[in-house]
Amino acid sequence: MPTHSETRPLPYSAQQMYDLVADVAQYPKFLPWCAAARIRSTAPHGDGVVMEADLVISFKVFRERFGSRVVLRPDQYEIDTEYLDGPFRHMKSNWAFKDRPEGGCDVAFFVDFEFKNAVLQGIIGVVFSEAMQRIVRAFERRAAELYSA
């Protein structure tokens, strides 16, 4: 069960980074291995929104769709994701964004997952840390494209 956790300071506001990560439909434009995204539904939930979404992940010969429930809490600048269906045994992730007094924000990211398919789990296990870093860097590059003048 690989996990990855990191916190990084970025020169963008918590609101900007929250908006970027919350815009799941745009993921195929910039995320590695994300071939497609579809929002199944959105519904108000307490002080936030619950979104159910499908992502199609394509890696070498593997192409898998998985569904997730994304809990968006804009007032806290937090996003939690939990697995609904697809190739995982389990999957959960969390994003948290906090403005820094000197400007910019801290971005905290955590993910924990395990594939059902032992071959796929073995492949991702070898490159897991590098793959997670590539995903986080893809969000950073996207923020630079959207928010840098």
The pLDDT tens digits of the residues spanning 49-93 come to: 999 999 998 877 778 888 999 999 999 999 999 989 887 788 899
* Cβ 96 vs Cβ 77: under 8 Å: yes
* Residue entry with tokens 């820094």: 100
The CATH superfamily of 3-147 is START domain (3.30.530.20)
The pLDDT tens digits of the residues spanning 85-125 come to: 887 788 899 999 999 999 999 999 999 887 777 776 676 66
Specify the pLDDT at position 89.
Answer: 80
Spell 29-39 as b/e; 16+ CB within 10 A means b: eebebbeebee
As a whole number of angstroms, the distance between CA 87 and CA 98 comes to: 32
* Residue entry with tokens 């600048």: 77
Annotated domain spans of the chain: 3-147
